[in-house]
Structure formats: structure tokens, C-alpha cells
Amino acid sequence: MSSFKKRVPASQPKPPPATRINPHSAQLLVSTGVPALDDVLGGGLPVGGVLLIEQDRQTGYSNTLLSYFASQAIAAGHKLCIVNADRDVNLASQLPGWAGVSRSAPESGTSTGAETEQGGAGDKMQIAWRYQNLPRVDGREADTQSHSEPSARPPSTAATDTPYCENFDLSMRIPQKVIDRASVDIVDGDAIARGMSGTENKSGDMYRHVLEKISALIDDGFSSLKPLPPNAERNILRIELRSLGSGFWRSSDPNAILAFLHGLRGLLRYSYAACVISFPAYLYEEAGVRLPIVRRIEHLCDAVIELESFEGSNATPSSIVARQIKGEAASNSQEYHGFLHIHKLPRLNSLTASMGRLSILHTGGGSANNLAFRLRRKKFSIETYHLPIEGGVTERRVPAKEESNTPRLPSGAGCGSTPGRKDPLEF
């Protein structure tokens, strides 16, 4: 037996469950619940960072991303805080389940019959053998498989026993008993009103009240400035702010949202917490032009993405392309539902973003802003956008009327030749 041994502290702290280290910046990452979105962000959402999702005007695709984020918190045993000022939160009917969940979603869920056929055909599709060994971003990696009985994992679960990202299914829902066992804190509009009436903050500033609530949660075991008790393990706090800046967020100061984001980022920098915010940017427009405050809001966040849906929009280039895609009967299985625009990528502890080095979608030959998303019956996916074939497969290149009215030349006649004689230029 060798006498040379490496000295390791007896009580070496363990990383929080369902986390990984970014090899580019040594930043602790958590999953958003969507493997493709993790890939776009450079591996996941950094702990201590803020992700801003700019909502679409007519659709609710941003709510799907928020439901993935909340389901991942329950699957990993993280603390979850949801703040929604405009409506009540019903997690049992909103959160997608994962492998082993027995309760299925109602038939009038998030997809139509056509999308069901598309999703079923896409899942059973086989690709060529030379492409099978290429990296894939579809949530089926080896570390994302989990076929155990679904339950809310306690905070003491080891990080090695918890997958980084679960394989969620939009056609399933998490049972209510699993949600009851999870550590979830829901703050809706009524709870905010009751909390504001019992404090000195009676001026109607909801941003200040929510910021105080988040500060109290961080101080309760999620602050990196306070040491943990002996034999205690770190856990992650996930914060979800829905429709921040909408008309339901009352405040006497029009710039209160800027002060709120500045204070929120300061709290998250020294904590084991990550935040995802949905922001209705279309409310901050005049004559189709965004107000300067939107740019300042984006500057106060670490990562900013925008979902631009093909549905319910004006005559924009994206809507024109959407009509072209929907007109192709042969490309129904490849139909996209909108564009994913990347306005800002996380750069915590680094001068450059990690997407260029760690992203599969980016290194596959695409740029940062040629991504599209689609919502199938079972999953939400992000892919590189490809234009359809010109003219389509089922469309005639020359209409029948034009073809019949076109004068035909005699057989053997060419350019500059006399009918009945062989063309000297023909060979």
C-alpha cells in the first residue's frame, strides 16, 4: 500500500442535485427542462442568472417553456417559487409529466389532431445509418433517462442519483399528490394584495412586495453568503415570474420594473437561485416600434430570447414564409410554429458566451438567429430552420392552362434551325 495519499477534506460539500458545471466558465448550471433550450444557452441556465422570455402577442408558447421549468424543479427536488399577478396558478393542469406518470392530459390539451399525427410520425421516423452517431438535442441522452416511479425528490437526494434534465411528455400531467409533496411556493395576485395590506407598503407597489418575498426566500437557506449547518446539503431555488410588467403589476412609478430587475439580479448573484421571467414586450410598443424601456429591461437580464409565432401576426416576412410552409402538403410533418430569436446569451464569469463552443445547434452550421420551434403532442422542440423545397412536391411547376396555350415547335426543331431539317448544333 502506497504511503502517498491525496488529502481530501472529510466534509467536502456536494453540488446541488440536478446541476452540472459549465466547462467553459466553471459556472454552475441548471436545466430549463427543454434540452434544446439548454443547448442554445450553452448547457443550461447559470445559477444566479435571469432568463427573459419575450412573449408572443397571440399565442401562449412562453407558458409552455415556463411549465417545463416548473416541472423540472419538481422532478429534481428543487424549491420552486411561482409569482403570477394576473391569474390563479393550477399546477395539476399545467405541468407536463415525465416517464412513469400515469395520469394523461385531457384530449383538449395543447395540440390538435393534425399535430398528433405529426408527432406520432416524427417519433417513429428512422434516419440514415451514417447520421445515427451524430449528437442529438431531443431529450433522449443517456443522462436524461429516468424510468423510476415519479415523485418529488427531497432536497437530500444525491446529485448523482438525479438526472440533469428529465424527458417530459406534454400529453401527461403530474399527479396532485406529487405536487403536494414538492416544495412549491405560489404567489398569486390575491396573495400579493393580502401581503401588501398587512405591511407598510400600501402605495400599491407590487414590485417592491415581490422583491421582499424573494429576498426572504433566498435568506432561508439559499444564500451563498451564509454557511450551511453541519451535514446539510445545498439546494436550488427556482423562481418563475409570469407576465412581468403587464397591467396587473400595479405601481405608481413607471420605472419600477427597472428597479425591480436591478434588485433581483443583485440578490441572485449571491445565491443558489435561478430565475425565468416571461415579459409581454408587445405592450411596450407605439406604432409598431418598441419603446426604449424594453432595451433597458433586456440589459438588466442575463439571457433574452423571443418567441415569434406564425399565428395571428401581420404581413411580416415570418408570416409569409409560414403560409408557404402550410401550403405544402408534403411538408406537414416538418411544419414549424414560429421563430426563436436570441437577443442575449448568458456571460456569467466570462467575457464571451458559451453557445459558440458548447452548442450543438450552433456548431451544426447555423447562426444564432436561424432557429425555429414547433409544439408537438408530446414535446416542445427547437431546431434549425430550413426553407421548404421551391414549388413543393405536389405542386405543378407549369399550370395546365399555360401549358396548353404555349405554341409547340415541331419535333427536331431547335434554336435557329429550319423545320424538317436536322439542326447542325444538335449533338
C-alpha cell at 314: 401581420
Handedness of CA 33, 35, 41, 42 (dihedral sign): positive
pLDDT > 90: percent of the chain: 35
Tell me what pLDDT residue 359 has. 72
Task: Please tell me whether the overall predicted TM-score, pTM, comes out greater than 0.85 for this model.
Answer: no
Report pLDDT digits (tens) over 52-94: 999 988 788 999 999 999 999 999 999 999 998 876 778 888 8
Residues near 232 by beta carbon (within 8 Å), at least 6 away in sequence: none
Residues near 221 by beta carbon (within 8 Å), at least 6 away in sequence: 228, 235
Tell me what pLDDT residue 108 has. 43
Contact 385, 371 (CB under 8 A): yes
Is a pLDDT exceeding 50 seen at residue 251? Answer: yes
Tell me what pLDDT residue 103 has. 59
User: In the structure, what pLDDT confidence band is assigned to residue 369 with cuts at 50, 70 and 90?
Assistant: low
- Mean pLDDT calculated for residue range 99-103: 58
Contact 256, 211 (CB under 8 A): no
Contact 174, 112 (CB under 8 A): no
Tell me what pLDDT residue 65 has. 95
Cα angle 416, 418, 420 (rounded to 5 degrees) comes to: 145
Is a pLDDT exceeding 50 seen at residue 158? Answer: no
Q: Which residue has the higher pLDDT, 65 or 332?
A: 65
Tell me what pLDDT residue 149 has. 44
Is a pLDDT exceeding 70 seen at residue 168? Answer: yes
Residues near 150 by beta carbon (within 8 Å), at least 6 away in sequence: 75, 97, 98, 99, 100, 101, 174, 175, 178
Number of other CB atoms surrounding residue 300 within 10 Å: 18
Q: Which residue has the higher pLDDT, 354 or 109?
A: 354
Tell me what pLDDT residue 71 has. 95
Tell me what pLDDT residue 388 has. 64
Q: Which residue has the higher pLDDT, 366 or 249?
A: 249
Tell me what pLDDT residue 155 has. 43
The mean-pLDDT minimum among 216-220, 223-227, 347-351, 353-357 falls in 353-357
Is a pLDDT exceeding 50 seen at residue 328? Answer: no
- Mean pLDDT calculated for residue range 32-45: 92
Tell me what pLDDT residue 183 has. 93
Is a pLDDT exceeding 90 seen at residue 115? Answer: no
Is a pLDDT exceeding 80 seen at residue 392? Answer: no
Is a pLDDT exceeding 80 seen at residue 32? Answer: yes
Report pLDDT digits (tens) over 299-323: 999 999 999 988 765 545 555 555 5
Tell me what pLDDT residue 138 has. 57
